[in-house]
């Protein structure tokens, strides 16, 4: 679970349960978990027109700087439905997830950001679908009221299991969209979030296809 507080070039929307690129400062080194180096090889290269904003960082999922920042941000937000903060995502607060080897990278441009994480679970697992009550809810972040509306996308199946959503965050100075994809191959889960003023499902699906090709290569 990670969190965003920025989306497009000159506008900001506070969005507690959604991620974007963490700060560009170099992360403090975390002790690599066994298998994390293999996961790093499965991350996407820098997309055309974007720059590397963060990482790659490898280590136990719960120890990564990006994971800790996301958890802290969620704790500071006041959600109408607290149970929706980590819905449809891996919960880093669970010991088996927090200790799992992981690799994270983020890219940014004037139009938005992409954050990708690969987590090697001890057993095959996949986040449950988004509960119906989490399709629409509100939150207060740093005094700003934000409304989230999420719908499932009909993405072509990737890996052994896959799921995609599109969330619109309304509030503050502008609206923003977050496209999210989660794919499982064997015991490895790939999570990717694309943040911008508008996120086209077709573009999200193309990125998911590229990510799944890399995931297939490291899980053979």
The model's pLDDT over 49-67, given as tens digits with 9 standing for 90+, comes to: 999 999 999 999 988 888 8
The C-alpha atoms of residue 159 and residue 73 are separated, in whole angstroms, by 31
Sheet (strand 78-79) strand order: 51-60, 101-109, 112-120, 188-196, 174-185, 161-171, 144-152, 136-141, 78-79
Q: Give the number of residues written for the chain.
A: 220
Q: What is the DSSP letter of 4?
A: B
What torsion, rounded to 10 degrees, do the Cα atoms 193, 197, 200, 206 define? -40
pLDDT tens readout for residues 154-210: 999 999 999 999 999 998 777 899 999 999 999 999 999 999 999 999 999 999 999
164 alpha carbon, distance to own chain's centre: 11
Contact 73, 16 (CB under 8 A): yes
The pTM is what?
Answer: 0.83
């Amino acid at each position: 679970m990670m969190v965003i507080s920025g989306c497009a070039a000159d506008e900001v929307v506070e969005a507690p349960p959604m991620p974007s690129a963490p700060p560009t400062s170099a992360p403090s080194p975390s002790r690599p978990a066994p298998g994390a180096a293999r996961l790093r090889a499965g991350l996407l290269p820098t997309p055309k027109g974007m720059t590397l904003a963060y990482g790659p960082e490898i280590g136990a999922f719960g120890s990564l700087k990006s994971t800790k920042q996301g958890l802290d941000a969620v704790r500071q937000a006041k959600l109408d439905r607290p149970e929706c903060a980590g819905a449809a995502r891996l919960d880093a607060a669970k010991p088996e997830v927090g200790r799992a080897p992981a690799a994270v990278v983020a890219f940014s441009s004037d139009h938005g950001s992409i954050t990708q994480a690969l987590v090697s679970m001890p057993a095959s697992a996949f986040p449950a679908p988004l509960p119906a009550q989490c399709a629409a809810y509100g939150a207060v972040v740093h005094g700003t009221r934000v409304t989230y509306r999420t719908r499932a996308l009909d993405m072509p199946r990737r890996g052994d299991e896959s799921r995609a959503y599109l969330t619109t965050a309304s509030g503050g100075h502008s609206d923003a969209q977050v496209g999210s994809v989660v794919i499982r191959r064997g015991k490895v889960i790939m999570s990717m979030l694309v943040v911008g003023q508008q996120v086209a499902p077709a573009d999200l699906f193309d990125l998911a296809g590229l990510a799944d090709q890399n995931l297939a290569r490291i899980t053979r």
